[in-house]
């Protein structure tokens, strides 16, 4: 491969903080808020112009895994406070007490307010491109932005990038996971009641149209609730692409239906997914408009600004949570949060702190879908509220580590759990 040499240059250190959070998605903005509320000086770096990640820019609006199938609540703390704040400003739609859907635009506002009220320093439109590591300890990051190339230093960093970008840059070991890449959208002009009646009363015709849709390489369009459903505005969750082929095969199991080959850390695969999904979704909307009752007046309001990435790097931690442990309802001495499971009859699971502590790099915690779990339970861990829950755990631990001058691996677990419980986190 042809290469070039970059000249050496000095990079200005523009900020030193107690805690540096990279990634402002569901895990990141909660982590930053949690750390700052405990008195830490926190900087949050986000590559996009808004906070919330896939819950805002990705239009993933259903807040799944807060409850189990029986309706028991397993996630509290900052994730629950976020929903309460949304509800208070008309930013939450609920298909019953256990099925909340967030408004993507108002969630951006709530995330901003949580961070700024806590005293977090936000640096949006900034991309962490290099890790500053000495003797196996992460000491900060190099960021690129319109302001150029700059350094931010902190004794404790949190990788909340989703893809584990910072941890990988710092030399942490990881395993790759692959799932379908989607691209969610918002639509208007839909009469969902007529659509559901059509599904119920003409199942053979619906199956026939699904077959035509697959032949086109299209995507099924099932309208989901928003606070504006009363005027025909819905969000649509798109399963998306497994590879450079058509859509999911009928009859596949849950995990099989999500399997993919495209890499979410390969720019060519990401570019292909962006272009191809928009093409397929426009075709899908056209087919529905001309054939499906309730969609005659459908209008495309917005493609999600961010691809629906479900899986990529899993940073190898001090502990890896497995299906066997979840099914066995394993209790952990270092539990830092819980979540419900909607895809299996196991009820709930616990996240041990060891899943957030990388094995190979000191001074670093991970939060969100890049934590150390196996392919089975990632189906829940990757969802928005569990990501927020791990963010609160990581942010709290980071603040304690910075306060006590220790590495995240050395944080006293009993102290961490007491603080989390005091802040509303459900631990048992």
pLDDT over 80 at 245, yes or no: no
pLDDT band at 244 (very low <50, low <70, confident <90, very high): confident
| Confidence band for 278, pLDDT divided at 50, 70 and 90 | very high
Please tell me whether residues 169 and 67 are part of one structural domain: yes
- Same domain as 173, residue 57: yes
CA distance 8 to 103: 46
| Residue 251, pLDDT score | 58
The answer to whether the beta carbons of residues 315 and 164 sit under 8 Å apart is yes
Are the beta carbons of 77 and 385 closer than 8 angstroms? no
Asked whether 246 and 321 are in contact (CB, 8 A), the reply is no
Do residues 54 and 154 both lie within one domain? yes
- Report residue 168 CA to chain centroid gap: 18
Contact 384, 63 (CB under 8 A): yes
- The mean predicted confidence, pLDDT, of the chain is 96
Which pLDDT score is estimated for 331?
Answer: 95
The reported pLDDT for the residue numbered 344 is 87
Do residue 75 and residue 123 come from a single domain?
Answer: yes
Max Cα–Cα distance, the chain, nearest Å: 69
Assess whether pLDDT exceeds 60 at residue 320: yes
pLDDT one-digit tens code per residue, 17-40: 999 999 999 999 999 999 999 999
Report whether pLDDT(243) > 70.
Answer: yes
The number of distinct structural domains making up the chain is: 2
* Inside any domain, residue 250: yes
- Residue 297 is predicted with a pLDDT of 98
**1 lies in some domain:** no
Listed in sequence order, the DSSP H helices in 202-322 are 203-215, 254-258, 267-291
DSSP string, 373-413: B-TTTHHHHTSHHHHHHHHHHHHHHHHHHHHHT--GGGS-H
Calpha distance 282→300 (Å, rounded): 8
Q: 199 and 282 share a domain?
A: yes
**Considering only CA atoms, which of 156, 135, 115, 133 is closest in space to residue 16?**
156
Task: Decide: helix, strand or coil at residue 183.
Answer: coil
Q: Whole-prediction pTM value?
A: 0.96
Burial (Cβ within 10 Å: 0-12, 13-18, ≥19) of residue 3? exposed
35 and 130 assigned to the same domain:
yes
Is the domain of 395 the same as that of 413? yes
pLDDT tens-digit readout, 35-80 = 999 999 999 999 999 999 999 999 999 999 999 999 999 999 999 9
Both 198 and 173 in a single domain? no
Establish if 7 belongs to a structural domain.
no
Confidence of residue 150 (pLDDT cuts 50, 70, 90): very high
Q: Which of 284, 303, 322 is the last residue of a domain?
A: 303
pLDDT at 1: 80
Query: How far, in Å, are 190, 238, 250, 347, 399 from residue 218 at the CA level?
Result: 19, 10, 14, 34, 47
The pLDDT tens digits for 368-384 are 999 999 999 999 999 99
pLDDT at 88 over 80: yes
- Residue 34 inside a domain? The answer is yes
**66 or 345: whose pLDDT is higher?**
66
- Pairing mode, if any, of strands 121-123 and 42-45? parallel
CATH number at residue 105: 3.50.50.60
User: Are 203 and 245 part of one and the same domain?
Assistant: yes
CB 369 within 8 A of CB 351: no
| Cα 42 to Cα 402: distance, rounded to the nearest angstrom | 10
Is residue 85 in some structural domain? yes
Is there a single domain that holds both residue 130 and residue 253? no
At 250 the pLDDT is 55
% of residues, the chain, pLDDT over 70: 98
Task: Tell me how far the alpha carbon of residue 348 is from its chain's centroid.
Answer: 19
pLDDT at 246 over 60: no
Domain boundary among 274, 303, 332: 303
Angle between helices 77-88 and 104-118 (to 10 degrees): 120
Domain boundary (283, 303, 323) is at: 303
Whole-number Cα distances in Å, 91 to 27, 85, 88: 19, 8, 7
Is residue 163 situated within a structural domain? yes
Q: Is the pLDDT of residue 124 over 70?
A: yes
Task: Let me know whether 264 and 162 are in one domain.
Answer: no
Residues 52 and 164 in one domain: yes
For 7, other C-beta atoms within 10 Å of its C-beta total 4
Q: How far is residue 260's CA from residue 244's CA, in Å, rounded to a whole number?
A: 10
Residue 236 in contact with residue 224, Cβ under 8 Å? yes
213, 167 in Cβ contact below 8 A?
Answer: no
Could you report the per-residue pLDDT of 358-417, keeping only the tens digit for each? Answer: 999 999 999 999 999 999 999 999 999 999 999 999 999 999 999 999 999 999 999 999
DSSP collapsed to 3 states, 112-171: HHHHHHHCCEEECCCEEEEEEEECCEEEEEEEEECCEEEEEECCEEEECCCCCHHHHHCC
Distance CA 81, CA 143 (A): 31
Question: Does residue 149 lie within any of the structural domains?
Answer: yes
User: Would you call 124 helix, strand, or coil by DSSP?
Assistant: coil
d(CA 358, CA 379): 21
Output the CA angle 35-36-39, nearest 5 degrees: 100
- Kind and range of the H or E element at 313? strand 313-315
Q: Is 205 exposed, middle or buried (0-12, 13-18, 19+ CB in 10 A)?
A: middle
Q: Give me the domain span that covers residue 55.
A: 13-177+313-422
**32 within domain boundaries:** yes
DSSP H or E run through 228: none
């Amino acid at each position: 491969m042809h290469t070039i040499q970059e000249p050496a240059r000095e990079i200005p250190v523009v900020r030193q903080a107690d805690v540096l959070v990279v990634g402002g998605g569901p895990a990141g903005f909660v982590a930053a808020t949690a750390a700052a509320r405990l008195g830490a000086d926190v900087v949050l770096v986000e590559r996009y112009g808004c906070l919330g990640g896939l819950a805002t820019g990705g239009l993933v609006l259903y807040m799944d895994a807060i409850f189990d199938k029986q309706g028991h609540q397993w996630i509290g703390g900052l994730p629950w406070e976020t929903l309460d704040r949304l509800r208070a400003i008309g930013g939450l739609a609920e298909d019953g007490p256990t099925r909340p859907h967030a408004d993507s635009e108002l969630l951006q506002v709530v995330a901003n307010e949580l961070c700024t009220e806590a005293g977090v320093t936000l640096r949006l439109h900034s991309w962490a491109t290099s890790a500053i590591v000495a003797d196996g300890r992460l000491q900060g990051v190099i960021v690129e932005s319109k302001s150029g190339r700059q350094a931010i230093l902190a004794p404790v960093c949190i990788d909340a990038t989703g893809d584990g970008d910072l941890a990988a840059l710092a030399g942490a070991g990881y395993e790759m996971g692959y799932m379908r890449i989607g691209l969610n959208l918002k639509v208007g002009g839909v009469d969902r009641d007529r659509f559901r009646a059509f599904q119920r009363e003409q199942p053979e015709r619906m199956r026939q149209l699904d077959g035509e849709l697959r032949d086109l390489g299209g995507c099924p369009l099932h309208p989901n609730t928003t606070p504006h459903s009363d005027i025909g505005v819905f969000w649509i969750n798109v399963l998306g692409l497994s590879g450079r082929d058509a859509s999911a095969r009928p009859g596949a199991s849950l995990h099989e239906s999500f399997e993919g080959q495209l890499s979410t850390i390969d720019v060519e695969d990401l570019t292909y997914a962006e272009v191809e999904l928009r093409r397929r979704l426009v075709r899908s909307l056209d087919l529905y408009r001309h054939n499906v009752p309730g969609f005659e007046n459908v209008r495309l309001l917005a493609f999600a600004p961010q691809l629906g990435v479900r899986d990529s790097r899993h940073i190898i931690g001090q502990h890896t949570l497995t299906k066997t442990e979840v099914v066995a309802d394993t209790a952990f001495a270092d539990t830092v949060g819980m979540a419900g499971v909607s895809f299996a009859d196991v009820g709930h699971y616990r996240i041990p702190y060891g899943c957030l502590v990388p094995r190979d790099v000191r001074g670093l915690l991970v939060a969100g879908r890049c934590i150390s779990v196996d392919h089975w339970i990632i189906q829940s861990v990757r969802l928005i509220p569990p990501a927020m829950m791990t963010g609160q755990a990581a942010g709290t631990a980071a603040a304690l580590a910075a306060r006590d001058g220790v590495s995240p691996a050395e944080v006293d677990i009993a102290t961490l759990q007491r603080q989390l419980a005091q802040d509303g986190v459900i631990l048992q």
